[in-house]
A = this chain, B = another copy of it.
Amino acid sequence: MKYYSYDSFKTDTNRLLLEIKEFEPEALVGIARGGLTLSHAVVEGLNVRNIQTLSTQLYDKTQKREALCIKGFCEFENIQRVLVIDDIADSGDTLKAIIKMLRTKHPKVEFKTATLFYKKTSVYKPDFWINEADDWIDFFWERDFKSN
């Protein structure tokens, strides 16, 4: 397990910003919880004001198989390009389900995806990513804040 510090995040996010700025997104969708801090940094860095969030929940559908449920609602009035942000494409299930839903609901919008980490075994490959993940990542936002 590798601790991923704020300093590493700062460096990587600035590298990511250089790649995604050519896409010129007019809105962002941050995937909660993992993508929230990165979404914030990216909207500040690109100076985009339109930021919306979605989250996913796993629930037992038949007690045999898990299903992914997307929570939240997005609106893209007069918006052409949207960047979807998560921290990591791990299994890739979340990004795959969310991008499928967004493209179905908003067929006129161009969606691209960005993450800090990408695992080669992921079922979905983001358009923009910085690091290949080969170990469990201990993100600073999961480690640095405790209520007890």
Give chain A's interface residues, CB within 8 Å of chain B: 6, 10, 13-14, 17-18, 20-21, 30, 32-33, 36-37, 39-46, 49-53, 55, 57, 71-73, 75, 141-142, 144-148
Q: Are A55 and B44 in contact (CB under 8 A)?
A: no
Selected contact of A44 from candidates B46, B50, B51, B145, CB within 8 Å:
B145
A53 CB to nearest B CB, Å: 4
Q: Are B42 and A145 in contact (CB under 8 A)?
A: yes
Q: Are A147 and B18 in contact (CB under 8 A)?
A: yes
The interface residues of chain B lying within 8 Å CB-to-CB of A75 are 71
Q: Are A14 and B44 in contact (CB under 8 A)?
A: no
Selected contact of A142 from candidates B44, B46, B55, B141, CB within 8 Å:
B44
* Complex Cα spacing A14 to B143, Å: 11
* Complex Cα spacing A17 to B18, Å: 34
Selected contact of A21 from candidates B44, B144, B147, CB within 8 Å:
B147
